[in-house]
Amino acid sequence: MNSFGVVLLPTASAAMRAAKVLGSASVRCTLIPTPRELSKDCGLALRFDWAQAERVRALLLGAGVQNAELHCL
Amino acid sequence: MIYLDNAATSWPKPPEVVQSMTDFLRHAGGNPGRSGHRLSIEAARVMYDVRESIAELLGAPDPLRIVFTQNVTHAINTALLGILRPGDRVVTTSIEHNAVMRPLRALEKEGIRVTVVPCAPDGSLDPADMEAAVAAGARLVVINHASNVTGTLLPVPEVARIAHRAGALLLVDAAQTAGVVPIDVESSGIDLLAFTGHKGLYGPPGIGGLIIGDRVDVREMEPLLRGGTGSNSEREEQPGDLPDKFESGTPNGPGIAGLGAGIRFVLNQGLDAIRAHEVGLTRMLIEGLSEVPGVHTYGPSDPWRRTAVMSFTVRGRHVSEIGMRLEEEVGILCRVGLHCAPAMHRTLGTFPEGTVRLAPGIFTTAGDIEVALSGIKRVVRG
């Protein structure tokens, strides 16, 4: 399987906000259960195409989404 | 039947509120933020969308600093017990509901100093009195945006400036005003706004919220409850991120969905149109009741200085008798007594008997008020 990016956020609400920010910028992303290799958290994370990582990072920063961690899996 | 008890809870609810709650249970029934499957994600999406709607209606800059609670009492307790510590001073007014006064009287026993600023007999507050009260310093100022007994509106932006000059935060109890009077948390300088979903926001009972402004250091604010949040599950300590820090346990998903539909109803109606409609009904009540011999009304004579809440008494008659006869003989549903606000009734001079309270809402018509006034005249006559 190709590598993909995951955004980890501190709360499910923050994940929803991030999904809206990326969706409104036409960046394809999917809400997924947080991958266990990244966190023991039982919450939500965002999956996206890692090739878009810099754009995702900039969009989230620009929208004031705090404490977003980007990982490549 | 004429329902004039909207200050207790609004009725009827818009059909879309009922529909949204059914839809939530049918199509978004997962536990938000706990699991990653589609029903859980849909529940989380509904909750987040409602946070954004609240932010839009009430001028809150950050949807993530909106905490869902059971009701406004829960929100007020979250703020008061979360912020105040022994030795702190809190300043409030003499028109407060027991949702504020009871936690404050309990905190007083733990070493928190409580100062109550007296209001005028119509419930209005002289800002100079508030300024004098906070001059000695305060951690928090707590005010009712509008009295649930007379509808009297307090000058929130002015009190915010006074509180901030004294280094205090401002907590506003918006139980009677959210969805009824324009509110802008950010531009008004409100630091904490407690609201309920089942009154002017036309949602169901069992849902409310607390908006936390950015002047509040949430690291110093203790939660009322601790428990599962779906986040930071590897740790046995409460997470510090908002809104999760103050939202332990499974949330009231159907209630939140209903609240969201209620807020959309308010936004679609338009707050200015709602306000104008209710001011018109209040004016009818003020003018109509003033013509009834033996009736004494309370609160400001200008309907724009109050919400659609009208209290009255009848000379020589118990309010309980008036309320019972209004229902039995005219079909008016209203509330009599102290309205959980003994402080306000002491201010009005109506303690301990209380008043008869009429509270129209968006679904009340001018024809309803005409029928009510003529029925009141009959009941008062004999």
Residues B253-310: tens digit of each pLDDT: 999 999 999 999 999 999 999 999 999 999 999 999 999 999 999 999 999 999 999 9
Selected residue with higher pLDDT from B233 and B44: B44
Domain boundaries, chain A: 5-72
- Judged by CB atoms closer than 8 Å, whether chains meet at B230 and A43 is answered as yes
Domain boundaries, chain B: 2-10+270-381, 15-268
The upper half-sphere exposure of residue B361, i.e. CA atoms within 13 Å in the direction of its Cβ, equals 26
Tell me the per-residue pLDDT of B59-85, one tens digit each, with 9 for 90 and over: 999 999 999 999 999 999 999 999 999
Bridge-based pairing state of the strands B2-3 and B332-333: parallel
**CA distances, A5 to each of A1, A10, A43, A50, B136 (Å):** 13, 17, 17, 4, 55
pLDDT of residue A36: 87
pLDDT of residue A63: 94
Which among B283, B261, B296 is positioned nearest to B22, based on CA atoms? Answer: B261
- Judged by CB atoms closer than 8 Å, whether chains meet at A42 and B35 is answered as yes
Inform me whether the C-beta atom of residue B209 falls under 8 Å from chain A C-beta atoms.
no
Instruction: Choose the mutation target among A13, A20, A46 for the interface with B, i.e. most B CBs under 10 Å.
Output: A13
Work out the pLDDT band at B183, boundaries 50, 70, 90: very high
pLDDT of residue B33: 82
The structural architecture, per CATH, of the domain A5-72 is: 2-Layer Sandwich (3.30)
d(CA A29, CA A35): 15
Would you give the distance in Å from CA B175 to the centre of its chain? Answer: 0
Average pLDDT over residues B47-51: 97
Instruction: Choose the mutation target among B31, B45, B52, B64 for the interface with A, i.e. most A CBs under 10 Å.
Output: B64
pLDDT of residue A1: 53
Written as six digits, the tokens of B149 are 């007994």
Q: What is the pTM (predicted TM-score) of this model?
A: 0.96
The pair phi, psi for residue B141, each rounded to 5°, is -115, 135
Q: Does residue B52 surpass a pLDDT of 90?
A: yes
* Cβ-nearest to A17 among B32, B64, B229: B64
Active site residue B340: yes
pLDDT of residue A39: 81
CA distance A51 to chain B (A): 24
Chain A residues in contact with B229 (beta carbon < 8 A): 11
Q: For domain B2-10+270-381, give the fold.
A: Aspartate Aminotransferase, domain 1 (3.90.1150)
Average pLDDT over residues B3-25: 98
pLDDT of residue B36: 82
Tell me the per-residue pLDDT of B110-160, one tens digit each, with 9 for 90 and over: 999 999 999 999 999 999 999 999 999 999 999 999 999 999 999 999 999
Chain B residues in contact with A17 (beta carbon < 8 A): 48, 63-64
- Judged by CB atoms closer than 8 Å, whether chains meet at A33 and B234 is answered as no
| Percentage with pLDDT > 70 across chain B | 100
Inform me whether the C-beta atom of residue A18 falls under 8 Å from chain B C-beta atoms.
no
CA distance A50 to chain B (A): 21
pLDDT of residue B29: 84
What is the rounded average pLDDT for all residues in chain B? 96
The pair phi, psi for residue B210, each rounded to 5°, is -130, 120
Radius of gyration of chain A (CA): 11
Work out the pLDDT band at B227, boundaries 50, 70, 90: very high
Q: For domain B15-268, give the fold.
A: Aspartate Aminotransferase; domain 2 (3.40.640)
B68 beta partners: B209
* Cβ-nearest to B34 among A17, A32, A42: A42
Residue B311 host element (H or E): strand B310-314
Inform me whether the C-beta atom of residue B51 falls under 8 Å from chain A C-beta atoms.
yes
Select which of B340, B353, B371, B375 is catalytic: B340
pLDDT means per 10 residues, chain A with 73 residues, are 86 94 96 87 88 96 93 93
